[in-house]
């Protein structure tokens, strides 16, 4: 096995035993990126010199010492361009490190490069980037998912050992499922959002893409915890997540929400999920069908709340303080309007318009305030479910990856790609996607496990047991 194919856990053992050096590992990945990324287009920028310099000086005694990690391009790193894959932020260099970046550096990680994404994290296919379209490593004419498609693709294609993404409505879990890797959306408040360029502040959460569940636990261990810079991060102790990995699933109560297994679920996905459920049952888990009765409202609630918050958050990009400024001469209003028209892409404009509308005078009560009330009903559904169950099991995506361009002209169909993941963000609970099979045309299928607030350890317990009993994580795309 090549070094670039290995996991955090296996590489840490080799690095600490001095069987390999950090420089050798970085060089292996840089060669892989040079060979593969022209086809995948997962990276926006790779700083080879900086990565090699970090490799020479890294501290191998630290938890992630010597491990190269890719970063989604909406997370600020001091001195690095942070564009959110948008023309409006071309040339903007972050003046500070996001808390997760600081924590990765403190843990000894090597920051390898910046990954492609849907512009301002608005999309489900990474086709809305202003710079390039990322391909699915398993089939290059298919999408990798979004909005963190670049972060998922570089891990699946062995161009990074792990990566960071952000998840507002499924933007870690959905691309992880479509690319065949592990994607974790932590509980809202478990990981600091300080330094993440905001899309929808009550929904956004940073999390890792990894090759295995164990690696996901190691990454969360490094980035979790309360942060005094970020007032929604919670004062909840961070446990030893790796301690959960060896616990058996016997006696674990797994809820199967009937609303997630109805019309619209692809046959191959449904078949893979039923086999997974049967496996858990064979291991002594207690399987119980449950109901999340307000699931049908999740898409509508999400696209009201998320667009409203996006409209407010993106108002700061005005062509004056930083980023793109139009060359048109005029009064301040003309400069604002022209800068934003030139800098934002069509999907971002669509969501700003929707969000401004639902917040406008006379409509806020009919849309935004009502959506917030329904959100509380969705949260209550999960609270009730977790009184009976330890985790919930659902598909991550209703279908395997679709072909590039297939849904670009139909925004509603594109929005439905996140139908299985959105409610997790609205309820602020945690979720993980792990590989559970392949479709008839050899595209990955993902299984989603959902846990109560701050119970990521339970997710790791259930996910690791399944992963160890199956061969899915051992398969790699062929180039």
Query: Annotated active-site positions, please?
Result: 72, 147, 171
CB–CB of 183/444 below 8 Å? no
Q: Which two tokens stand for residue 415?
A: 């929005």
Instruction: Categorise residue 109: left if φ over 0, alpha if ψ from -120 to 50, beta otherwise.
Output: beta
Residues composing the chain: 479
As a whole number of angstroms, the distance between CA 450 and CA 455 comes to 9
CB–CB of 14/20 below 8 Å? yes
Backbone phi, then psi, for 452, in 5-degree steps? Answer: -65, 170
Q: Which two tokens stand for residue 438?
A: 């392949």
As a whole number of angstroms, the distance between CA 204 and CA 232 comes to 11
């Amino acid at each position: 096995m090549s070094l670039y194919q290995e996991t955090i856990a296996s590489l840490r053992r080799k690095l600490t035993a001095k069987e390999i050096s950090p420089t050798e590992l970085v060089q292996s990945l840089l060669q892989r990126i040079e060979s593969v990324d022209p086809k995948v287009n997962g990276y926006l920028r790779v700083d080879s010199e900086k990565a090699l310099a970090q490799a020479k000086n890294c501290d191998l005694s630290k938890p992630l010492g010597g491990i190269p990690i890719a970063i989604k391009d909406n997370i600020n790193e001091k001195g690095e361009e942070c564009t959110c894959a948008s023309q409006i932020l071309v040339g903007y260099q972050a003046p500070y490190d996001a808390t997760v970046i600081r924590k990765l550096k403190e843990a000894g990680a090597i920051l390898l490069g910046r990954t492609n994404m849907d512009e301002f994290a608005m999309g489900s296919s990474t086709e809305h980037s202003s710079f390039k379209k990322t391909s699915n490593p398993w089939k290059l004419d298919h999408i990798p998912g979004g909005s963190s498609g670049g972060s998922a693709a570089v891990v699946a294609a062995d161009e990074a050992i792990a990566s960071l993404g952000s998840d507002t409505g499924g933007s870690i879990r959905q691309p992880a499922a479509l690319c065949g890797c592990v994607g974790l959306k932590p509980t809202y408040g478990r990981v600091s959002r300080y330094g993440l360029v905001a899309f929808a502040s009550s929904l956004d959460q940073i999390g890792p893409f990894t090759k295995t569940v164990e690696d996901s636990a190691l990454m969360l261990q490094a980035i979790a915890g309360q942060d005094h810079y970020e007032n929604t991060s919670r004062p909840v102790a961070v446990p030893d997540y790796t301690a959960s990995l060896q616990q058996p699933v016997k006696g674990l109560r797994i809820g199967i929400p009937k609303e997630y297994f109805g019309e619209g679920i692809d046959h191959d996905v449904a078949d893979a999920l039923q086999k997974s459920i049967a496996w858990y049952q064979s291991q002594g888990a207690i399987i119980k069908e449950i109901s999340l009765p307000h699931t049908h409202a999740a898409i509508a609630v999400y696209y009201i709340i998320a667009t409203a918050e996006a409209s407010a958050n993106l108002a700061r990009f005005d062509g004056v303080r930083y980023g793109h400024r139009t060359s048109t001469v005029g009064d301040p209003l003309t400069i604002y309007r022209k800068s934003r028209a030139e800098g934002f892409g069509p999907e971002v404009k669509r969501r700003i318009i929707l969000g401004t509308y639902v917040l406008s005078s006379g409509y806020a009560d009919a849309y935004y305030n009502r959506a917030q009330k329904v959100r509380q009903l969705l949260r209550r559904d999960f609270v009730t479910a977790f009184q009976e169950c330890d985790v919930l099991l659902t598909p991550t995506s209703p279908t395997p990856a679709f072909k590039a361009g297939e849904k670009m002209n139909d925004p509603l169909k594109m929005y439905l790609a996140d139908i299985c993941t959105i409610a997790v963000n609205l309820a602020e609970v945690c979720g993980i996607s792990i590989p559970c099979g392949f479709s008839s045309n050899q595209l990955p299928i993902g299984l989603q496990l959902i846990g109560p607030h701050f119970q990521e350890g339970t997710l790791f317990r259930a996910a690791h047991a399944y992963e160890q009993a199956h061969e899915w994580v051992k398969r790699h795309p062929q180039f």
